[in-house]
Amino acid sequence: VSEQSASEAVRYEWRNRIHAEYTSAAITQHLTLWLIQMGASPDLIDDGLRIVTDELVHAQMSAEVYAEAGGTEPPQIERESLQLPRHPEQLLEMDITRAGVQMFCLGETVAVPLFSHLRQGCTVPVARDALDRILKDEVRHRDFGWQLLDALLDTPVADELRQLIDVELPQMMASLQQSYGDAVDDGAEAIEDISDADRLWGLAPASEYAEILSRTIERDYIPRFNERSIDLVRLLGRG
């Protein structure tokens, strides 16, 4: 058996990544439709469309890794989940802000150091190719998020959007921390789940996800929100 034989954890993880990347494609498409409806700048709309294409490539490449790892049951994704929820009683800009902050300012910003870390230990060619491409794109996806936020904070309804961020950002942070395993105290158990062989396929234990997230909060979220006069330290109740 070569070092490339894959564990169940590898198949499970890459199957989830197919799901996540495909979902990203759909919701970025939806967000970009909203940008068109809002009359956002052509640059921002172009960037959004390009990201949709990237995410479809990421999903395809993840499916190739999954198949190479011996996976034979690609995820069944509910059609209803492949869209963003609209609150029709609220301004469109509010739903754009929610999705933009959560998916891009938070999600794509932490994705950069995360995928960089996953890629470091990854030597199985098909997985390495996928992580190379994902990491290269993720930097641009992160930048799109912060440019989108700047554009939103430059609209006549900026005050309302700032208020929404004040109210909803703490909850967004909490669910991010939960999904990165920070909230749970069983890191030691999680470490055992990922073997050295799994790292060659681009996996890492939950404790490392949590570490990367807390570094990202200090190095990226706090300063980047600060530049936009959003006091994340205060919102997290640490100020």
Binding site for Fe ion (CB under 5 A): 21, 55, 58, 141
Dihedral sign (CA 40, 44, 50, 56): negative
DSSP string across 144-155:
HHHHHHHHHTTS
C-beta of 55 vs 198, nearer to Fe ion: 55
CB of 27 to Fe ion, least distance (A): 11
- Whose Cβ is closer to Fe ion: residue 83's or residue 226's? 83
Do 210 and 178 touch, CB atoms closer than 8 A?
Answer: no
Residue nearer to Fe ion on the CB measure, 139 or 157? 139
Nearer to Fe ion, 97 or 109 (CB): 109
Q: How far is the CB of 58 from Fe ion (least distance, A)?
A: 4
Give Rg (Cα) of the chain. Answer: 18
Smallest gap from residue 138 Cβ to Fe ion (A): 5
55 vs 182, which CB is nearer to Fe ion? 55
Tokens of 229: 């006069």
Closer CB to Fe ion, 31 or 151, in the complex: 31
Say how far apart CA 125 and CA 140 lie, in whole Å.
24
Q: In whole angstroms, how close is the CB of 108 to Fe ion at the nearest point?
A: 5
Least distance CB 220 / Fe ion (angstroms): 15
Question: Taking each helix axis from N to C terminus, what angle separates 158-179 and 92-99, rounded to the nearest 10 degrees?
Answer: 30
Write the DSSP assignment of 41-97 as a string of letters: -HHHHHHHHHHHHHHHHHHHHHHHHHHHTT---PPP--GGGSS----TTS-HHHHHH
Distances in whole angstroms, Cα of residue 137 to Cα of each of 82, 180, 198, 203, 219: 21, 21, 24, 19, 20
Amino acid identity for residue 160 in this structure: E
Closer of 142 and 199 to Fe ion (Cβ): 142
Give least dist CB 103 to Fe ion, A.
8
